[in-house]
Structure 1
């Protein structure tokens, strides 16, 4: 199924949007929010979008400002501005009674949207979600790891290291091993697509803006964990059991705090969980969307 691409002018940005239209719209529309770094709507959702549309869902996946084919915004990316951006997208796309799903950075945007616009989304899906940890790493060495990352980020060394491996096929393939654990899913085509995004787009640069806002010397600026209990929207948390960036224990805690939270632990998968195990993730997403459809259908008298 071919995606339709269009550009949308929002109050504070212009974005490029991929859209997959079903032959018959029988389910809720779905807004998909990709992750950070060298990511885009096509990279994260190129397999998910057609599958959701084939099941009857109008599926919309924007490139965040500065990512993919979206031009940079006139404002520096911060979590608060990205959350406002999601609300503007919902209005511009004329979404109602919709579901929203996000990976990593997009997962944090999804939580922010649920808190900012309570009750608007009928269902939500968080994949490898950001915003559930106080620091970049847990454990005894967590504070040291976090401070080291802060210094690398502020000095510009992290950006320089990222640019260097983004120009090297072998280095990029090694870097993707933590994100996509399945060797069959970590194809040469994926490596080349990520390298092309890193080389030609501004996603790495604007993601660095967001990181500098979020990564303080001793903590992360945004932690949603203590704010999850008021969220009444049914939420599915999808997480790879080999995700080294976000420990599964943090996701389990989030699922317990959410009034309607359920968790799918995906065996053998890393952080880019839907690229790693689409065979498990896509059916789980569809099941969650179907349960939301049934919950919203009025029962006969």
Structure 2
């Protein structure tokens, strides 16, 4: 298996991507889309990409524009533009038969792609997926939490708080404790890598731009849930039962609405589920890929 970093020139941007090449390519290629904030392809997909390549998949994990090693795009970072970016990325890679998976922001990009270009992907995996909630929080104070975040965004206070948090090792360790709940997975190396990404990358600023587009005063701009029954692509949802950002109940509803949806609930795992419990997530992904890509392609 060979791992290399490559540049992909698209009509709107040049993005940096990791590519895992198996010794013998015997399965469909897989496109992996990382999350927001101080995330990147390397941070989210290092272990997953290697495992998929070992099973015969050629794997691509790009840094979204403005994240990781990819320069920021000239266009505003909206959800619609990111979804269009996914289609252009697939065309730029020359993929015809492929599987797609995404975490959080990348999960929302994946759902958007399945809706925008139905029938192209052979199968999909959604981890801690964005776009399945009307607001940032559920429950009795969900509306207050959402509106408070809107105010913090518009006043610039959230950006200032995020910058301060990103420079504070103790705060970062506490924050990662919510995202990655297993102590053995929350290594000093991971903390250092996230701190470095937050300090030298532009992901936090880029993500804030996307948040400005998505967080309206009373709701999130993007809600894919009503459109899920139209997605025929076999889709696996993988979700930590301790995910504090996306309630498991929302994911269960999504799995029920998807005509070919299935759900793997990961016990005691947080939002960054593949970093938290790779021992459960990677086998679940491999099983889904094997079962769905050996079957005839679904009709749109």
Contact 2:2/2:23, CA 8 A, preserved across alignment: no
Shift of 1:9: 1.1
**TM-score between both structures, scaled by the size of structure 2:** 0.98
2:35 aligned residue: 35
Q: Could you report, residue by residue, the CA deviation over 1:242-270 in whole angstroms, capped at 9, with x for unpaired residues? A: 00000000000000000000000000100
Match of 1:93 in 2: 93
Aligned ranges 1:185-224 → 2 under 5 Å:
185-224=185-224
* 1: CA distance, partners of 2:3 / 2:22: 11
Deviations 1:110-168 (A, max 9, x none): 00000001000000000000000000000110000000011111111111111111111
Tell whether 2:105 aligns with 1:79: no
CA deviation map 1:84-133 (0-9, x unaligned): 00000000101111000000000000000000010000000000000000
- Structure 1 length-normalised TM: 0.97
Q: CA deviation at 1:296?
A: 2.8
Counting only pairs closer than 5 Å after superposition, residues 273-288 of structure 1 correspond to structure 2 as 273-288=273-288
Q: Deviations over 1:179-227 (max 9, x none)?
A: 1011110111101100100000100001000000000000000000000
User: Residue 2 of structure 2 contacts residue 22 of structure 2 at CA under 8 Å; is this kept in 1?
Assistant: no
Deviation of 1:240 (Å): 0.1
Match of 1:14 in 2: 14
Per the alignment, in what secondary structure is the counterpart of residue 295 of structure 1?
A: coil
Deviation, structure 1 residue 2: 4.8
2:238 aligned partner: 238
1:53 aligns with 2:85: no
Q: Secondary structure at the match of 2:230?
A: coil
Aligned to 1:110: 110
CA shift for structure 1 position 293: 2.3
Quick check: 2:78–2:214 contact (8 Å CA) kept in 1? Answer: yes
> In the alignment, is residue 65 of structure 1 matched against residue 65 of structure 2?
yes
Q: For residue 32 of structure 1, give the secondary structure of its aligned residue in structure 2.
A: strand
User: Does the residue aligned with 2:295 lie in a helix, a strand or coil?
Assistant: helix
Deviation at 1:177, TM superposition (A): 1.0
For residues 293 and 81 of structure 1, the distance between their equivalents in structure 2, rounded to whole angstroms, comes to 28
Give the Cα separation in 2 of the matches to 1:52 and 1:247. Answer: 28
The range that moved more, 165-174 or 60-69, is 165-174
Distance 1:59 1:9 in 2: 18
Q: The residue matched to 1:191 in structure 2 has which SS? A: helix
What secondary structure sits across from 1:284 in the alignment? helix
Contact 1:27 1:57 in 2 (8 A): yes
SS at match of 2:24: coil
SS in 2 for 1:286: helix
Runs of 4+ in 1 over 6 A off after TM superposition: none
Confirm or deny: 8 A CA contact 1:76 1:206 kept in the other structure: no
Alignment of 1:119-130 (within 5 A): 119-130=119-130
